Amino acid sequence: MKTSKIDVLFVGNAIMDVLSSCNESFLKEHCIEKGGMNLIDEERALYLYSNMPEKTEQSGGSAANSAYGFSCLGGKAGFSGQVATDAVGDSFISDLESGGVSFAGKQAKTGLATARSMILITPDTIRSMNTYLGTSLHLNASHLPEHTMAKIIYLEGYLFDAPEGPSIFARAAEIASQSGAELALSLSDSWCVDRHFEALTEFVKDHVSILFCNEDEIISLGQTDVHGSVVLISNWVDELVVTKGAAGANILKEDKQVNVPAMPCGEVVDTTGAGDLFASGYLFGRVTGASILKSAELASLCAGEIICHFGARPQLNLKEFVAQLN
């Protein structure tokens, strides 16, 4: 399988986000812990899915969110992940493609159902998440394209924790090397770094050109404080992107350092997807020839749009919104 002409190939877990507003009694009736994030099995997932009121469905997962945002900016994005041949899997692919993202993944004909995260939002805006990982965990290296014309292959760190995660990462690095693409990685979460510390450290040192992380994640990888970890890891990669929440972000490339402030477009409502859309903006800047500073500002604007509403899909026209930088 080959990908068509794209700028960035995003690789990660394919998870359909299913959002629904509900009252407290619904949570109690269905034994859902308010504000919690629970991993559930297929039977429980199908039960909740069938009982949720007025659902809104969006293709999700960290890398898929980044791909969607990248496409909204005008970039050509591809996404590789695994869904099932079921209604949710069809919706996942359709939603991505409606946003201009090429689906370059696998739609399994048998086995587990498509992954989904049932997100129930009570009137006080608290989100209770129930996630079934399903067939997304069974993506393997053979499902990646044999060649890509992408300038960058982007991996989400969560995927490393999947049964075939390390082999998928190794294959992605091989494809990048053969195709002349750069390899970008988001560490995703400090628990993922802690759990796979030695293997991820070796992978970053050997293969990663652009590394995205927050302060907790870089501390886990560097095994010291933020400053010491930044100094250490900036010698491993070509570009180190460290997001700092309300304090903005730092980017280090060779002997240059760029600092950008956070740029919320209004009141902060929900930080879900902020890191994903930061990556969208930064990668779009880099593949279109923007400077490190301009790419970082673009990234901060994209993250600033996402945190002012619920969900990881832009509500404003991102292409027009970021035009203020010009």
- The reply to whether 311 falls in a domain is yes
- Give the CATH number of the domain where residue 277 resides: 3.40.1190.20
- The reply to whether 72 falls in a domain is yes
- The reply to whether 79 falls in a domain is yes
Structural domain tally of the chain? 1
C-beta separation of 260 from 300 below 8 A: yes
Q: Token pair of 98, please?
A: 């409606």
| pLDDT, averaged across the chain | 92
Residues 59-114 pLDDT 10s: 999 999 999 999 999 999 999 999 999 999 999 999 999 999 999 999 999 889 99
- SS3 annotation, 8-36: EEEECCCEEEEEEECCHHHHHHCCCCCCC
Strand partners of residue 263:
none
- The reply to whether 32 falls in a domain is no
The confidence score (pLDDT) of residue 273 equals 85
The confidence score (pLDDT) of residue 1 equals 47
- The reply to whether 280 falls in a domain is yes
Is the pTM of the predicted complex or chain greater than 0.95?
A: no
Instruction: Give the torsion sign (CA, 181, 297, 313, 188).
Output: positive
265 exposure class (CB count in 10 Å sphere: 0-12, 13-18, 19+): middle
Question: 323 pLDDT exceeds 80?
Answer: yes
Q: Which domain holds residue 183?
A: 8-13+62-111+133-325
Residues 188-236 pLDDT 10s: 989 899 999 999 999 999 999 999 999 999 999 999 999 999 999 999 9
Q: Token pair of 268, please?
A: 């902060």
Question: 310 pLDDT exceeds 90?
Answer: no
- The reply to whether 49 falls in a domain is no
- The reply to whether 47 falls in a domain is no
- What percent of the chain has pLDDT above 90? 72
Strands 56-60 and 152-156: unpaired
- The reply to whether 163 falls in a domain is yes
